[in-house]
């Protein structure tokens, strides 16, 4: 059994889903593990990690709009507004999604479905630099 870790840094330009599969897949392949488990963790409380459809960009647009309607910015009932009107809503959106994923590795590659990719889900209006931690274990 072998394991490896890696940290990615990626920039966002505001709310939305950012495909990060292109950064993750080459690192997984480089590890030369036939089978294993990849764990992806984002150490932020206002962004998250999700697996979502990669074929129709309307899906990503609709998801972003859904979360904006579900948890709108600027709600005056929130006490936490240290970084602006989207601060607490971003934390709530993050709590409703995921900060980590576990994905099988088969034949040396991430075992995603045909229409699946891995996305960083940015919940803040402003640009941010986000870290993503990867851990793989297998043989």
DSSP annotation of 126 reads S
Average pLDDT, the chain: 97
Q: Can you name the residues that pair with 9 across neighbouring β-strands?
A: 131
Calpha distance 93→50 (Å, rounded): 12
Whole-number pLDDT of residue 105: 98
Rounded alpha-carbon distances, angstroms, from residue 45 to 9, 30, 73, 111, 123: 16, 30, 16, 27, 9
pLDDT tens digits for range 12-66: 999 999 999 999 999 999 999 999 999 999 999 999 999 999 999 999 999 999 9
pLDDT tens digits for range 107-117: 999 999 999 99
CATH number given to 21-138: 2.60.120.460
Q: Could you tell me the residue ranges of all domains in the chain?
A: 21-138
Residues contacting residue 27 through CB under 8 Å, at least 6 positions apart: 6, 8, 134
């Amino acid at each position: 059994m072998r394991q490896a870790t890696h940290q990615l840094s990626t920039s966002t330009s505001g709310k939305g889903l950012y495909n990060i599969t292109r950064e993750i897949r080459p690192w997984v392949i480089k590890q030369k593990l036939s089978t294993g488990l990849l764990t992806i963790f984002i150490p932020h409380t206002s962004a998250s990690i999700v697996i979502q459809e990669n074929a129709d960009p309307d899906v990503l647009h609709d998801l972003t709009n859904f979360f904006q309607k579900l948890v709108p910015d600027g709600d005056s009932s929130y006490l936490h507004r240290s970084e602006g009107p989207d601060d607490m809503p971003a934390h709530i959106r993050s709590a409703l999604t995921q900060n980590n994923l576990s994905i099988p590795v088969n034949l040396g590659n991430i075992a995603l479905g045909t229409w699946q990719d891995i996305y960083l889900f940015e919940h803040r209006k402003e640009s941010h630099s986000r870290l993503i931690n990867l851990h793989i274990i297998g043989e």
